């Protein structure tokens, strides 16, 4: 402020680089907070399908203790609480529980992914139990999840069948009424298969007459490629396309260049 100029000049002004340093500190702080926050958000845990001594009996106990309140003791469902599990099979159980969606925490537009509540063995047990009383789609063969399929064919199928909800870069997208198709960059091959076959919540069912086992293998391979590939152009900014690019250029590009202009025209020390 000019009115204080006379006094401050005698003591020397701040360094002309002060503004740049402040901006740098601000950027680092914001970036650090963001990185920390992102890391803190729970991701799908990498459930591995280890064949254990999963037993249907243990599964039944677990089911009655944790799931029957909403899904009924005989998996018949409860009006207003949870649907019938008739025909869901072990694959659906594995999908819903290994991503933490089930047990559902509260009512909302959809069941969200959250920290997994059970160990792999427990999920196996419940899955075995459900498969025994409400048989349905089974866990995938090793071939279909081996990631050795035709990546370009898989990517083509992904673009036609999946990208409209999950985004071409698997970054997720919006659905109606607050629902959304999640980001699938951290999803395991088993769960990719499981989601296609069981059609969780509002996701359509992609049975083997729509997408064959080979098609699914190709899609899984393409998605795995996507998950592992390094972005050749640099930071992806969340792969949200022109929106994140525009935000970035306005905040950092124009913001930075205006800061430079302020520096250029500021009076030197």
Q: In the window 87-126, what residues touch another protein (CB under 8 A)?
A: 109
What tokens were used for 263? 């520096």
Within 8 A by CB and 6+ apart from 108, the residues are 178
The minimum distance between CB 229 and another protein, in angstroms, equals 6
Q: Which residue in the set 84, 168, 186, 227 belongs to the binding site for another protein (CB under 8 A)?
A: 168
- Closest CB to another protein among residues 191, 226: 226
CB atoms near residue 238 (< 10 Å): 15
- Closest CB to another protein among residues 96, 128: 96
**Spatial CA neighbour of 102 closest among 135, 54, 67, 136:** 67
Select from 43-51, 92-100, 125-133, 167-175 the region that touches another protein (CB under 8 A). Answer: 167-175
- Closest CB to another protein among residues 68, 175: 175
Tell me the β-bridge partners of 180: 174
Residues 1-40 vs another protein: string with x where CB under 8 A? xxx-xx--x------x------------------------
For residue 78, what is the DSSP state? Answer: B
Select from 37-45, 94-102, 185-193, 256-264 the region that touches another protein (CB under 8 A). Answer: 256-264
The minimum distance between CB 220 and another protein, in angstroms, equals 13
Residues 135-164 vs another protein: string with x where CB under 8 A? ----------------xx-xxx--xxx-xx
The minimum distance between CB 55 and another protein, in angstroms, equals 31
- Closest CB to another protein among residues 52, 236: 236
Q: Dihedral sign, CA of 147, 149, 155, 158?
A: negative
**Spatial CA neighbour of 147 closest among 188, 198, 90:** 188
**Spatial CA neighbour of 55 closest among 131, 118, 116:** 131
Tell me the β-bridge partners of 233: none
Select from 36-44, 99-107, 128-136, 168-176 the region that touches another protein (CB under 8 A). Answer: 168-176
Tracing tokens 């997408």 back to the chain, one arrives at: 211
For residue 107, what is the DSSP state? Answer: -
Contact between 256 and another protein per CB under 8 A: yes
- On whether the CB atoms of residues 198 and 208 are closer than 8 A, the answer is no
Tell me the β-bridge partners of 78: 82
Q: Which residue in the set 97, 181, 192, 220 belongs to the binding site for another protein (CB under 8 A)?
A: 181
């Amino acid at each position: 402020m000019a009115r204080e100029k006379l006094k401050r000049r005698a003591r020397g002004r701040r360094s002309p680089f002060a503004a740049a340093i402040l901006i740098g500190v601000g950027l680092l702080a914001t970036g650090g907070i963001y990185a920390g926050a992102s890391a803190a958000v729970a991701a799908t845990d990498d459930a591995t399908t280890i064949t254990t001594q999963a037993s249907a009996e243990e599964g039944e106990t677990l089911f009655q203790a944790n799931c029957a309140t909403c899904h009924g003791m005989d998996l018949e469902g409860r009006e207003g609480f949870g649907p019938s599990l008739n025909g869901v099979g072990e694959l659906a159980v594995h999908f819903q529980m290994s991503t933490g969606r089930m047990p559902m925490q509260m009512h909302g537009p959809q069941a969200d992914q959250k920290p997994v509540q059970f160990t792999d063995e427990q999920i196996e047990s419940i899955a075995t139990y459900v498969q025994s009383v409400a048989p349905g789609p089974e866990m995938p063969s090793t071939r279909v999840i081996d990631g050795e399929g035709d990546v370009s064919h898989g990517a083509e199928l992904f673009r036609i069948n999946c990208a409209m909800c999950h985004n071409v870069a698997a970054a997720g997208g919006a659905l109606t009424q607050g629902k959304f198709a999640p980001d699938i960059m951290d999803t395991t091959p088993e769960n990719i298969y499981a989601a296609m076959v069981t059609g969780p919540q509002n996701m359509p069912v992609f049975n083997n007459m729509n997408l064959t086992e080979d098609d699914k293998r190709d899609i899984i391979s393409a998605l795995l490629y996507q998950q592992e590939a390094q972005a050749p152009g640099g930071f992806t900014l969340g792969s949200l396309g022109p929106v994140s690019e525009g935000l970035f250029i306005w905040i950092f590009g124009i913001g930075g260049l205006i800061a430079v202009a302020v520096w250029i025209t500021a009076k030197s020390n």
